[in-house]
Each structure stands twice: as C-alpha cells, then as structure tokens.
C-alpha cells in the first residue's frame, strides 16, 4: 500500500481535476453523529464502523464516508445545481484479518442537479473514466432502480415487497426471503407452530409484557404475520423472471435489449429501463464506448445502502483489491436528510492510495 504521502499527493491531483470540472471543495468532520447513520443504514452499520461515545454529543462514529455529511450540508442551504469535491480519510472495520486497510484516503465528486439526471450520471462516470484511463481498469455498471422497480411490481403483499426492498443490499437474506415468499423454502417447525397458533387466535403466552414494544405494536405484528400466512406465494413465473433479472450480466447494449424483452412481462421496470437507455446515450455523447461497457443487474448490492439508481465501479486486474473507484445515484437519501425536500444527486469516490500503488506497479 502506498505511503500516506504518495496517497495524499495523488489525492491533491484528483482534487485539482474535480475543481477544474466545476466542483467546490468542502470538508466534513471526522466524527459523525451515529444517529443519522443508523437511521439510514440500520444497526448493520455498526459492524463496519468505529463507534464511540461523546459525553456531550452522544454516540458518534468515525467517518465511514463523506456522502452523508455532504448531502446534509447541501440540503441545509446549498444552491442548485451544485458540484462538490472533498478529500480525507475514512474508516471501515474489516470483518477478517486481511491486507485491506481500515483507514484510507478517499477523494470524491458529487453532483446535485434537478435537470437531466441521466446526463449527470454520465458526467460523473466519464470524469472518473478519464482520470483513471491510464490504469487500464475494468468498469462495471448496474442500476438498483431497475431491481427496486421489479420488486415493487410483484403480485404480493406490500409487507413482503417492503421486506425484499429493505434487504436488496443483502443478497443472501434477499434470496432467503424470495424463496420463502415464493413458497420454495420449507417452513421451520417452530415457525409453523407459531403461525398456526396466530391463525387460530389462541393466546401465545401468559407472561407479563416486557421490552420496548407496546401491546398495540405486538398486536399489529401478529396481524401482519396472520395476513402473510394466509396469503398465497408469489407466483412462480414472477419469481423466475426476477431471478433472471438478478442474474443478468452482459455488455450494455445486449443488457438493454434483454431488459426490453423482460419489460414486456415486467412492465414495472419500463421507466427505469428508459432511463438506462437515456444514460447510455449520454455516456456515448461523452466519449464512452458503451459497446464494451459491462452491465451487471446485481452490481452495487453489497455497498453502502443509499444507492437507488445508476451504480458503477472501476476494478484492477487483481481480484483481491477493492474497487479503485465507485459511485452511483442516491436520490432517496436527499429526501431523508432534507426533511422532505429532495434533489436528484449522484457522485463517486476514488481511492488515491490504490491509484498510487497501481501507478507504481506499472
């Protein structure tokens, strides 16, 4: 791994390029309020972040990335459209002992623009592609919005669709839920007994009420379980089409053609597919060879959980290395952090330490 001085020098070069593209440099505190991150990502973020307690500010986290504080800053009073750039260290726990760093430099570029989101997607991607072109990296793209639209279009309970959407960034959990909702997974005996008891209306326990949930919340949960148990499985043909979509991997033009075919039986994905076509046209206008650009429908499902549209990453030949750069669209986060106000937003980050390493190895 490149020494910090080399990583910082590379970060300075990238920042200069981002400023030349019209970005305003911004900074973010290293310590971030944990409450905001937990609201966005859920408790799972604890496994990937360093958490501490401040006697005045309460629970805090070492900055896992810059996007959240930059969005907060913009939604608090930034003018539209806006472009921001930033650099600094981020901190991520590693689940296993490895050569991956828990602390590393990150340089980023974010665009907030209401007009023509697909053009903004192309702007960010093309800027990154140009800066990283000398490294010969492989670029991969995806679109979380297509997956979300497919889930929302399923013929099943809203509660099931909400559960699938909540776990779209956890592929293993998503698959288990889809198997259960599709009637393909056997119901564990303990759960079957519980559901039978709920369906019959019998009392489950005479124990006193404990914990934080009220009786009304418990009753609502039991009613939801009763409704789920009585509802038929997701139709098998819909499950099969969703799995076909999840497994789609091809060059972008071929992927678009396959998605057009799928949209005839999955009309819910049509608007998102239209946006993908517009994005590819915008990328071509900026000089990107879309005929060789990889598209993977499930790409981006294991990253931080705020992307809800176009996603991308750039990879070195060594599969052991993390992505050199990654990013995507996160419109929904601006709603959450903007107290109901929103603005289309897209951005990405580059790891200057990895860039310096790859340059040194060339």
CATH of the domain at 31: 3.30.930.10
Whether 62 contacts 4, CB under 8 Å: no
Task: Locate 187 and state its tokens.
Answer: 């119901």
Look at residues 159, 99, 115, 160 and name the one whose alpha carbon lies nearest to residue 322: 99
Structural domain that includes position 197: 186-232
User: Would you say residue 124 lies in a domain?
Assistant: no
302 part of a folded domain: yes
pLDDT value of residue 40: 78
Per the domain annotation, does 336 fall within a domain? no
- What pLDDT does residue 209 have? 54
195 in any annotated domain: yes
- Specify whether 61 is located in the same domain as 93: yes
Residue 125 lies in a domain: no
Looking at the structure, tell me whether residues 179 and 264 fall in a common domain: yes
pLDDT in the model for residue 201: 58
Residue 38, pLDDT score: 80
pLDDT recorded at residue 10: 95
- Residue 102: its pLDDT value, please? 82
pTM: 0.88
User: Do residue 106 and residue 150 come from a single domain?
Assistant: no
Q: Are residues 241 and 267 in the same domain?
A: yes
pLDDT along the chain (362 residues), means of 10: 83 97 95 85 77 89 91 88 95 71 91 96 98 97 97 95 91 92 75 62 56 66 67 92 97 98 97 98 98 96 82 94 95 87 94 93 73
Query: Does residue 361 share a domain with residue 240?
Result: no
What does the alpha-carbon distance between residue 68 and residue 46 come to, in Å, rounded to a whole number? 16
Same domain, 299 and 361: no
Question: Would residue 291 count as lying in a domain?
Answer: yes
Q: For residue 121, what are the β-bridge partners?
A: none
Would you mind telling me the total number of residues written for the chain in this entry?
362
Give the domain-ending residue among 165, 199, 232: 232
The alpha carbon torsion through 221, 227, 231, 234 (nearest 10 deg) reads: -30
Q: Which residues make Cβ contacts (< 8 Å) with residue 259, sequence separation at least 6?
A: 146, 245, 248, 269, 273, 276
Q: Are residue 225 and residue 261 in the same domain, yes or no?
A: no
In-domain check, residue 126 = no
Q: Is residue 330 part of a domain?
A: no
- Whether 158 and 266 map to the same domain: the answer is yes
Could you give the number of structural domains in the chain? 3
> Within this chain, do residues 177 and 192 fall inside the same structural domain, yes or no?
no
80, 196: one domain: no
Query: Is there a single domain that holds both residue 248 and residue 211?
Result: no
Looking at the structure, tell me whether residues 261 and 278 fall in a common domain. Answer: yes
Per-residue confidence (pLDDT) for residue 194, from 0 to 100: 61
């Amino acid at each position: 791994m490149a020494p910090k001085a080399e990583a910082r020098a590379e970060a300075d070069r990238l920042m200069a390029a981002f400023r030349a593209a019209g970005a305003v440099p911004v900074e973010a505190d290293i310590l971030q309020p944990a409450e905001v991150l937990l609201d966005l990502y859920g408790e799972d973020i604890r496994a990937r972040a360093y958490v501490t307690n401040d006697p005045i500010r309460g629970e805090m986290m070492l900055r896992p990335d810059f996007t959240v504080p930059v969005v907060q800053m913009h939604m608090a009073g930034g003018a539209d459209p806006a472009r921001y750039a930033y650099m600094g260290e981020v901190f991520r726990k590693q689940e296993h002992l490895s050569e991956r760093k828990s602390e590393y430099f990150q340089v980023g570029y974010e665009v907030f623009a209401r007009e023509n989101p697909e053009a903004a997607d192309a702007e960010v991607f093309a800027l990154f592609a140009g800066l990283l072109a000398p490294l010969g990296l492989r670029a991969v793209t995806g679109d979380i919005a297509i997956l979300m639209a497919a889930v929302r279009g399923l013929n099943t309970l809203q509660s099931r669709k909400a559960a699938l959407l909540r776990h779209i960034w956890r592929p293993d959990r998503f698959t288990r839920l889809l198997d259960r909702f599709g009637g393909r997974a056997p119901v564990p005996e303990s759960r079957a007994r519980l559901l039978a008891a709920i369906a019959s209306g019998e009392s489950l326990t005479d124990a006193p009420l404990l914990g934080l949930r009220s009786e009304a919340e418990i009753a609502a949960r039991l009613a939801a379980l009763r409704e789920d148990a009585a509802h038929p499985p997701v139709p098998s043909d819909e499950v099969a089409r969703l799995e076909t979509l999840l497994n789609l991997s091809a060059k972008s033009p071929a992927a678009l053609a396959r998605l057009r075919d799928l949209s005839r039986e999955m009309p819910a994905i049509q608007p998102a597919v239209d946006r993908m076509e517009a994005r590819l046209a915008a990328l071509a206008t900026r000089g990107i060879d879309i005929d060789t650009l990889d598209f993977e429908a499930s790409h981006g499902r294991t990253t931080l959980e705020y992307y809800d549209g176009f996603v991308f990453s750039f990879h070195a030949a060594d599969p052991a290395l993390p992505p050199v750069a990654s990013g995507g669209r996160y419109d929904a986060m601006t709603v959450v952090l903007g107290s109901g106000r929103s603005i289309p937003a897209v951005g990405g980050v580059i790891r200057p330490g990895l860039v310096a390493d790859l340059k040194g190895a060339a």
